[in-house]
Amino acid sequence: MSGSFEYKPRFTDIRVKPPKPEEEAAAKDVLRLKPGEIPCEWADCSRPATAKAPKSREQINLFYNFCQAHAAQYNKAWNFYAGMSEGEVRAAQENEAMTGGRPTWDMKVSRNTREAAGSAANAAHAAAGSWQDSYGLFGRRVNESAPSGPVMSEAEARMGKLERQAIGELGLEPGATKADVKARYHELLKRFHPDLNAGDRATETKLQHVIKAYKTLKKAGYA
C-alpha cells in the first residue's frame, strides 16, 4: 500500500474515565429503599415491595410483601388446595359454591320465644322416638364422617407457605427454635459441600436449596 493511502486513525488513545464519587453515590442510591418503602420478603431480594400475596390457606388475610416479579412467581405456583385430601377439597368447593366463601353464623333466638319452645318440643319428640330426622335437616347426620387427611399443627398453621417449604427443606418440623434451625443449617452445609462430595452436582444443587431455605427463614425471623 502506498504511503499516500496509509490509514491514520483519528483517535489513537481511547480511555474510559472512572465514575466520579458523586456519580457512584447516585448509582447506589437507585438501589436503596426510599422513605416509606419496605423490602421484598423473597430471599436475596432487596427491591421495594409493591405487591401482596396471601401467606397460606390458613392465613388468607395475612400477606407477604413482594416486588412485582416475585409476586408473579409466587402466585404462579400458588395452589389453594395443596395438602388437602380429596374429600376436603370437595367439601371446600361445595362450601364455596353455597356461601361464596363467606363465613356463616347459626340463627339463634331467645329461650323465651315461640320458636325456641317449638324447637325444644321437637327435640323432646325426637328423644322419645316419635320421628326421625332422616335427611339431617335439623342437625348433623349421624352417619356423616369427619373429613379425613392430615391435621395441621398450630405451629405449622402460623407459618406461611414459603416458611413451611423452607423448614421442610432443612428437614425440620414447624415449631423448631432458632438454635435448631442454625444448627441444622450448618450441619447441611458441611454435608452437601461439593468439596466433600467429589464435586457431585446433585449435592451442589441441594446445597443451594438449603442456603435459600435458611435465608427465607432468617428473613421471616425464624432463624
CA angle 205, 211, 213 (to 5 degrees): 105
Residue 28 included in any domain = no
Give residue 111's pLDDT band: very low, low, confident or very high (50, 70, 90): low
The answer to whether position 128 is within a domain reads no
Query: 103, 131, 150 — which closes off a domain?
Result: 103
For residue 86, tell me if it sits in a domain: yes
Distance set, CA 193 to CA 9, 111, 184, 203, 215 (Å): 53, 70, 14, 7, 17
Q: For residue 32, what is its C-alpha cell?
A: 436503596
Q: How many domains does the chain have?
A: 2
Q: Does residue 169 form part of some domain?
A: yes
The single-letter DSSP state of residue 55 is -
Average pLDDT of 57-79?
Answer: 86
Last residue of a domain, one of 58, 82, 103: 103
- Asked whether residue 212 is domain-assigned, the answer is yes
Residues 17-43 have pLDDT tens digits of: 676 776 665 555 555 778 889 999 998
Report residue 142's pLDDT band, with 50, 70 and 90 as the boundaries.
very low
Residue 178: which pLDDT band, with cuts at 50, 70 and 90?
very high
Whole-number pLDDT of residue 126: 56
In angstroms, the CA 47 to CA 71 distance is: 12
Given a contact cutoff of 8 angstroms between Cβ atoms, the answer to whether 104 and 97 are in contact is no
**Given this model, what pLDDT does residue 64 score?**
92
pLDDT at 148 over 60: no
Whether residue 172 is predicted with pLDDT greater than 70 in this model: the reply is yes
Residue 82 in any domain: the answer is: yes
196 vs 72, which has greater pLDDT? Answer: 72
Structural domain boundaries enclosing 209: 159-219
